[in-house]
Structure 1
Amino acid sequence: MAETHKEQLANLRQKIENVKFGMLTTVNPDQTLSSRPMTAQQIDAQGQMWFFTSDKNAFTKDLSRQPEVNITFSNPDDSLYVSVSGRATLVHNRDKAEELWNPMAGAWFPGGLDDPDLALINLDIVTAEYWDSSSSKMTQLFAIAKGILTGQRPTDVGEHVEMKL
C-alpha cells in the first residue's frame, strides 16, 4: 500500500530531524551550480521546507529567476542520504520568522527578528528520495564483498525510496 502524502512528509521529517545541515544547491546566472550549508527549520504539513537566510546573500536574488533547487542531507554514520527538490521563494514574513525563531538563528541575525537582512526561504517540495540502511556496517561490507566476489550487485544493503510530493 502506497504511503499517503501526510505519511510521506512525516517519513521525510523523521529522516532529517537529526541531520543539522543540508547543502542547498541553486543555479547561478551563468547556469553553473552552487551549494551552501543550510539548516532546515521546519517541514510543515503542506510540504514546505523553511530556512532562515539573509536577503543580502547573492544566491537569494537568483531564486526569482531560477527557483528550482535541491538540498541534500547526509548522515554517513547511519548510512542515511536524502535529496529534496522543489521550488524556492525568498519570503519576508514576520509571523513565520517568529514561529521558527531559535537561539541558533540569533547567532546569524544579531538584530533578532528586527534584523534588516532577515528573510526566509520557502522550499515547496516537489520530490524527495532517500537511501537508508538499517543494516550494520559489517553486514553492508559483507554484501559489498560478496558482490565483488560474485560479480553481482550487492543486495540488502538498505532501502531507496522516491517520493512525489
Structure 2
Amino acid sequence: MGPFAQDQLDAIKARIAQVEFGMLTTSNDAGTLTSRPMTRQQIDAHGDIWFFTSDKAPFTHDLPAHPQVNVSFTDVRDSLYVSIAGSAQLLKDRGKAEELWNPLVKAWFPGGLDDPHLALIKVAIESAEYWDAHASKMAHLFALAKAAVTGERPVAVGEHAKLNGAP
C-alpha cells in the first residue's frame, strides 16, 4: 500500500466509486493551469488513480517536467466534492492497459490495445480532501434552513476531511 492507511484509502475509494469522471488539472512551463475531464478507470490498492489518454494530447508533454496534478470529482446530486493532489506519470504499459481495457475505450482508440498513441496516466495520491453532505442530507438541509432564518452562516453541513499520506 502507498502512503495512506488502508481506512483512509478506503474512504477516498468509497466516495468516488460512483463518480466516473474527474477533472485533471495540470500545469506547463509558463505555470498555466489547465483542466480536462478524464474517465477514471481504477484506484488500485496502492492509491494510484489510472486514466487512459493519448500520448498526442498536448498536456501529456508537460507531465515529466510538471508531475504535480490535481483531480477533482463532483457529484452535485449527492453533495459530494473530492479534491485529490498527486504526482502523475505518462506510461506505456501493455499489461496494465489490458487489465483496464473496456469496449468504451475503443471509441477513443480505434486501434484497440495496439493503437500506437494509447497511453496511461497514473496519479499517485499524495493528499485528498472531501466534503460529503450526502450521509447527513437532512442535517444539511436543516442547517441551511436555520441559517436562512437566523442570518448566521451554516455549520456542520456534512462530513469534511483532509487526508495526507505519510512523508
TM (norm. structure 1) is: 0.91
Structure 2 counterpart of 1:75: 75
Shift of 1:13: 1.0
Equivalent residue of 2:77, what SS? Answer: helix
Counterpart Cα distance in 2 of 1:159 and 1:61: 37
Per the alignment, residue 42 of structure 2 pairs with: 42
Residue 150 of structure 1 is matched in structure 2 by 150
CA displacement at 1:144 relative to structure 2: 2.0
User: Cα distance, 1:151 vs. partner?
Assistant: 4.3
| Distance in structure 2 (CA, Å) of the matches to 1:144 and 1:14 | 26
Distance of 1:99 and 1:125 partners within structure 2: 20
State the AA in 1 paired with 2:8: Q
Q: In structure 1, how many angstroms separate the alpha carbons of the residues matched to 2:10 and 2:104?
A: 24
Q: What residue number does 1:135 align with?
A: 136
Aligned mates of 2:120, 2:99 — CA distance in 1 = 12
For 2:124, the equivalent position in structure 1 comes to 124
Provide the rounded CA distance (Å) in 1 between the counterparts of 2:125 and 2:103.
26
> For residue 52 of structure 1, what is the aligned residue in structure 2?
52
**What amino acid is aligned across from residue 96 of structure 2 in structure 1?**
K
What secondary structure sits across from 1:39 in the alignment? strand
Gaps of 5+ in 2: none
For 1:116, the aligned partner's letter is: P
Match of 1:106 in 2: 106
CA offsets, 1:97-116, max 9 Å, x none? Answer: 00111112111111000000
Q: Which runs of 5+ in 1 are unaligned?
A: none
Distance 1:39 1:139 in 2: 32
Q: 2:136 corresponds to which letter in structure 1?
A: S
Aligned to 2:163: 163
Q: Distance in 1 between matches of 2:42 and 2:142?
A: 37
C-alpha distance in 1 between matches for 2:149 and 2:24: 38
After superposition, the CA RMSD in angstroms is: 1.5
What is the deviation of 1:47?
1.2
Separation in 1 of the partners of 2:24 and 2:46?
Answer: 20
Distance in 2, Cα, partners of 1:161 & 1:103:
36
For the residue of structure 2 that corresponds to 1:30, the secondary structure is: coil
What is the one-letter code of the residue matched to 2:131? W
The offset of 1:63, in angstroms, is 0.2
Tell me which amino acid in the other structure corresponds to 2:43: I
Q: What corresponds to 1:14 in structure 2?
A: 14
- Identity level (%): 57
User: Helix, strand or coil for the counterpart of 2:31?
Assistant: coil
**TM-score, with length taken from structure 2:** 0.90
